[in-house]
Structure 1
């Protein structure tokens, strides 16, 4: 029998931790749905078109484990002038990773994306945002221009950004889409922190129309553009479901 590798188990355990407190309350059922729903090329093309038609752009986050299967998606978004951001090799927490485990996860994932698409991401959206000291050291050594996360200390040479919180998932648990996106529009007018959106979750909550209105009003940019010349940066997380392979 082929044993499951540690990184695979780490990802699966991270997802299971979201459901470890008994039956899922109705307002949290999107979490289970998000673990199995999957955005495909036409979904990404529609989202890209919405951004482009509103003179906007975004940073799309991808996992290394999906690079081969999502190569056409990544290349399409890159050709549409959006930013490709790194989101680890597998989707697990970095809160307690050692230096060795973090370095392996980042290096493996970056290589997978580069080999599949020829694109080298400059930004790292850390899954679940919390970053251990060991992971910070690995990030410093591998090198990124920016990181979306909450590290124990800021990595040298890397711009650290913390997204506007609570972001879309929490607000959509508590408010209808129009109210949730109106709150986020007010946040955009009040500051320059980047926004984190999960389009499949927005769709689950029947919020695509409100999200499109947010894009039309705010006209967000990639995180790289925000850092270079201002504007409201946005990171878009459409991660594929967990794969036990």
Structure 2
């Protein structure tokens, strides 16, 4: 029998914990769908065009886990002027990781993306956002220009939380036009926006999302941290993959 390595188990256990409270409520069925559906190159190209056609840009998050398979996607987005953001090697929480486990997850994932594409991400969007003290120390040692997450202690690395509540917290209970109108009101602050386009699409919200882009003129998170504006991270990645 093939062994299940610790990072793979950690990824699956993180997501399995979302489904262990009895029957899955209807408003949460997108979570199961998001673990199965997968954006491909043409989907990413459509998201890229949605931004560039409105004179906007964004940061697209990728896992090291998928770097070989999604190399053409990463290279296409990078060539199109969008920022490539790091999103860990596998998609698990960093809330309870030791320094060694966090450092291994970060360096393994970064190396996978760099080897597959030649692109070195400068920013880290932390899965599930919460950071343990050991994870913060690992981030400091590896070095990033920006981190989207939440830590209990101060750090010399610029760690910011996204605008909350964000799309996946709002869409199950509100129409897309109402969600985007609320998020439009939050534009112009110092925190980036976080969107999950596959989930927006699941809720038939892509037209409302494009209107949000046209109204807000978002930029990459690196651009926001350096020059201001409303930064946006787009997380299109299937969270769970068990090979």
Normalising by the smaller structure, the TM-score range is over 0.9
Distance in 1 of aligned mates of 2:90 and 2:143: 19
Superposed CA RMSD in Å reads 0.8
Match of 1:166 in 2: 165
How far does residue 68 in structure 1 lie from its aligned partner after superposition?
Answer: 0.3
Match of 1:111 in 2: 111
* 2:59–2:234 Cα contact (<8 Å) kept: yes
How do residues 167-206 of structure 1 correspond to structure 2 at under 5 angstroms? 167-189=166-188, 191-206=189-204
Match of 1:29 in 2: 29
What SS is found at the alignment partner of 1:128? Answer: strand
Distance in 2 of aligned mates of 1:74 and 1:163: 23
Match of 1:233 in 2: 231
How do residues 72-221 of structure 1 correspond to structure 2 at under 5 angstroms? 72-156=72-156, 158-189=157-188, 191-221=189-219
Over 6 Å off, 4+ runs:
none
Which ranges of structure 1 fall in alignment gaps of 5 or more residues? none
Distance in 1 of aligned mates of 2:160 and 2:8: 28
Distance in 1 of aligned mates of 2:83 and 2:76: 11
Is 2:73 the counterpart of 1:67? no
Give the TM-score normalised by the residue count of structure 1: 0.97
Which ranges of structure 2 fall in alignment gaps of 5 or more residues? none
How far does residue 241 in structure 1 lie from its aligned partner after superposition?
Answer: 4.2
What SS is found at the alignment partner of 1:188? Answer: coil
Give the TM-score normalised by the residue count of structure 2: 0.98
- Count of equivalent residues: 243
Distance in 2 of aligned mates of 1:69 and 1:43: 15
